[in-house]
Amino acid sequence: MLPSTMQEFPLTISAVLRHGRTVYGDAECVTWTENGPRRATYATIADNAGRAAGALARLGVKSGDRVGTFMWNSQEHMEVYLAVPSMGAVVHTLNIRLFPEQLAYVINHGEDKVVFVDDSLVPLLAKVASDLASVECFVIVGDGDCDASLLGDRRVERYSDLIAKESPDFDWPEIDERQASAMCYTSGTTGNPKGVVYSHRSSFLHSFAATTPNALNLSERDRILMIVPMFHANAWGIPYAAFLCGASLVMPGRFLQAEPVTRMVKEERVTFAGAVPTIWADIYRYGEEHEIDLSTIRSIICGGSAVPRSLMENFEKKYGVRIIQAWGMTETSPLAAVAHPPRSVEIGSPAEMDWRARTGRVVGGVELRLVDDMGNALPWDNEAVGEIEVRGPWITGSYYRDPAPEKFDNGWLRTGDVGTVSPEGYVQITDRAKDVIKSGGEWISSVELENILMGHPDVVEASVIGVPDARWDERPLACVVRKNGGGADAAVLAAYLAEHVAKWQVPERWSFIDEVPKTSVGKFDKTVLSARHEKGELLIEQLD
């Protein structure tokens, strides 16, 4: 073997911190508050990260210790997000929407030593405070009134007081790029969440990949509205990618409703934004009744669940805004595929939307394959249907303190997603393996039915689940939320579906509901719908 002459330079979050501070110190992080925007430069954030690291060291946090964050997206969250891994500890973003028993589980399972909590979220965290075995100190962020006694007899500090006592010139340690930098738990709807531990190397490489044109295409010219929470799969890698490339960040805090979000876009001249489809659907409905200005946005990245084609078409037609679909999961850091159309397709042509409506094209750095039930590799021919498996430098190879061998296949992560792949590497997910509907020996894609239904003008949301059937073993049940005053009944919607799919795939069973239940990260929760059906809580309309 001929050795290279290259330096052994560690790929670490501290390198991201140094680069953002020295090269893009004048970029800014804007945090939205009830009194309007609050601004800080990246240089200030880096200084405060140094102060936060000093404060944590005085609290007894050492290399490898876990530090939880129970916070909205904000300047302070970004400071902690940079400080903790750069000092050698592990930042553990906590999902503020978990059920109390799940929240207590992930904090205890991760053995968090210190937890940062926004003042507005103290009552929520207080519900589990007495159940937290490993936590030694709570750090309250923000100057708002809150009852710290709700957190029990553990040590409680104020973030502003802690960092005021520290120097920005923290002596950052040399870090092995293979050591843990961050921890995030899955948002599964069954069983306990599973922990994924990212390395400095994986996070650094993922950040680089995220900035590239075939991924998020970010640069210092961008102003990013980061709606996706920092606890949702690393906010899709946006925070570190932004600090690395100098893109400014607009943090919405707790103001995630359509009115303040659209105001942020206009006032802060946002060029790029990321959020799950339900957020953009709410914004589009808000825009039908209010005048909004989205003219500065060049691109929206949308993921977490399948993006309805109708939503992409409506945004482009009404606002000239391109929604790009992306796919990944907590286990993939999360970027694995992004649906940019191929170079042979003209931008704005009718064919372009056909490509953008796909789940995404495999991102460089990720290897992907399809396998059948026996584990045999299937061709990329747009026809073979199998489970998607992935591997790569930012793909997890295990779960934290949970071997889960059924989730891994000889070095490949079994995603649980089922679909096809085109010869060009475009993935089309047809379902989660657990949600695929098998009717009379044939497969029905619930995702396809949902996306078509949400293209009907009278439909706000639609979720399709499989239910038992005496003749066909399983048939689809369509659960639909109609617009106020929408007149489409089951027969009308069935006829609409029949224009787009084979007639045998059209559901005979329909249920009209007030809202599709959501998971903690905004995905449709089919487990809840299935449970309601089993208990007889859904009113079913049966078509002949």
Task: Please give the positions annotated as active site.
Answer: 186, 331, 438, 443
Name the one residue in this structure whose structure tokens are 């295409």. 217
Residues 6+ apart with CB under 8 A from 48: 40, 76, 79, 83, 163, 168
482, 514 in Cβ contact below 8 A? Answer: no
133, 68 in Cβ contact below 8 A? Answer: no
Residues 6+ apart with CB under 8 A from 44: none
Residues 6+ apart with CB under 8 A from 426: 337, 339, 355, 358, 359, 360, 361
Q: What are phi and psi of 435, to 5 degrees?
A: -105, -5
Q: For 432-489, where are the alpha helices, taking DSSP H only?
A: 446-453
Neighbours of 143 (CB within 10 A): 10
417, 352 in Cβ contact below 8 A? Answer: no
343 forms bridges with which residues in the sheet? Answer: none
Rounded Cα gap, residues 110 and 134, in angstroms: 9
> In this structure, what token pair is assigned to residue 322?
């391109």
302, 339 in Cβ contact below 8 A? Answer: no
Helix or strand (DSSP H, E) at 175: none
Number of helical (H) and strand (E) elements in the chain, helices listed first: 15, 28
CA torsion, ordered 133, 122, 516, 442, to nearest 10 deg: -30
25, 46 in Cβ contact below 8 A? Answer: yes
Rounded Cα gap, residues 271 and 476, in angstroms: 40
Q: For 111-145, where are the alpha helices, taking DSSP H only?
A: 122-126
Q: What is the 3-state secondary structure (H, E, C) of 243-309?
A: HHHCCEEEECCCCCCHHHHHHHHHHCCCCEEEECHHHHHHHHHHHHHCCCCCCCCCEEEECCCCCCH
DSSP 3-state of 69: strand
Q: What are phi and psi of 179, to 5 degrees?
A: -80, 165
Q: What are phi and psi of 66, to 5 degrees?
A: -95, 135
